[in-house]
Amino acid sequence: MDRIALVVGATGLTGASLTQELVADGWQTFGLARKPKTSNDGVHLITADLLDQDKLKEALKNINPTHVFITTWMRKDTEAENILFNGSMVRNLLEVLSEKKTVEHVALVTGLKHYLGPFEAFASKDNFIVTPLREEQPRLSFPNFYYAQEDEVYNAAQRDGFSWSIHRPHTVIGKAVGNLMNMGTTLAVYASICKHKGQKFIWPGSEAQWNGISDVTDAGLLAKQLIWAATTKEAKNKAFNVVNGDIFRWNWLWERIAKYFDIESEGFKGSAKVLEKQMRDDNIVWDALVKRHGLEENSLYQLASPWHTDLDLGRPIEVMTDMSNSRRLGFREYQNTEESFMNLFDRLREEKIIP
């Protein structure tokens, strides 16, 4: 049987890179999103809302995927709401596909909040975390929408007989507009504003993150792991961490990002200078930059997600991720982290998203 991929969240950070990789590998590829944008050649776009099962069923009536990649989520005000809505999205999708009896594998992308806790208790001082983070670590006692999503996949797999894989990236670095968790583009926009204002590129996070060891996940590398797990017998029915394969300290990388934008950097100085506060009134500045440089007409908060970057960089602990599970099974991909950021910045400039 031909491999037919359904990428759910096809225009997001992970989904966009995944569709590129699938098409390049010769897959018939369908991309589902609530508001599809222009996509790569070879991707068949589908408009659907995962919370409306009837319309979802209609949208997928002529599509019979063999492999399903779930890369999307919805942010709500509380974790209880996150659990309700995100669990329902996965359940609705898999119930609609259950009738087709064509699905061989379902891959779900979650993240390190599996180990660090939900937004309401994200690596807090009351939430003791053991690093490096390993897949065998038990679930936390906190309610977590990632657990709800996983349980929906496990239940459907037991019902329908497909295999599954769970993928837990650290911060994903890649290009997408309108993404809720977009550190790379957020830092590019922030640096561009600093340059325009003639001010320093000020570290917004904690001392632990500034001095500690960290890692991130390139969207392209994550796409490769998703396809590898979906097509490798030994990788079926397992959860995998996924990061670039190198480690770094932010006090090293921060200066390199500043150098790229030709601005002066400032490190941790006694307390966090949160990005959400630093950028609070910068929408007018960004609009001026768009006009001056003839950029794509994206608003500041279409591109930047300072709230999430503050969560990542404000953790009171250093965070590093173990990848032994997939390495042992043959996944050997590696991506240099500095290049992940610089390649993204180059692309954002080429596409006139930043000056």
Structure tokens at 73: 């989520």
Nearest CA to 86 among 41, 35, 149, 28?
Answer: 149
**Structure tokens that stand for 110 in this block:** 């979650």
| Identified catalytic residue from 37, 55, 100, 113 | 113
Is 175:16 a contact under the CB 8 Å cutoff?
yes
- CA-based nearest residue to 173, from 13, 282, 40, 64: 13
Q: Long-range pairs for 123-130 at CB < 8 Å and ≥24 separation?
A: 123/315, 123/316, 123/317, 123/319, 124/316, 125/316, 129/317, 129/319
Pairing of strands 248-249, 217-218: unpaired
- Nearest CA to 66 among 31, 102, 93, 91? 102
At 327 the three-state DSSP class reads helix
Tokens at 15, concatenated: 């989904």
Residue 113 annotated in active site: yes
**Taking a C-beta distance cutoff of 8 angstroms, is the pair 14, 219 a contact?**
yes
Given 115, 146, 147, 190, the catalytic residue: 146
21 Cβ contact partners less than 8 Å away, ≥ 6 residues apart:
220, 223, 224, 227
Q: Is 336 exposed, middle or buried (0-12, 13-18, 19+ CB in 10 A)?
A: middle
For every residue of 67-87, which 3-state class applies, written as one string? EEEECCCCCCCCHHHHHHHHH
- Establish whether 146 is a catalytic residue: yes
User: What is the helix, strand, coil percentage profile of the chain, to 5?
Assistant: 45, 15, 40
Q: What amino acid positions are annotated as catalytic residues?
A: 113, 146
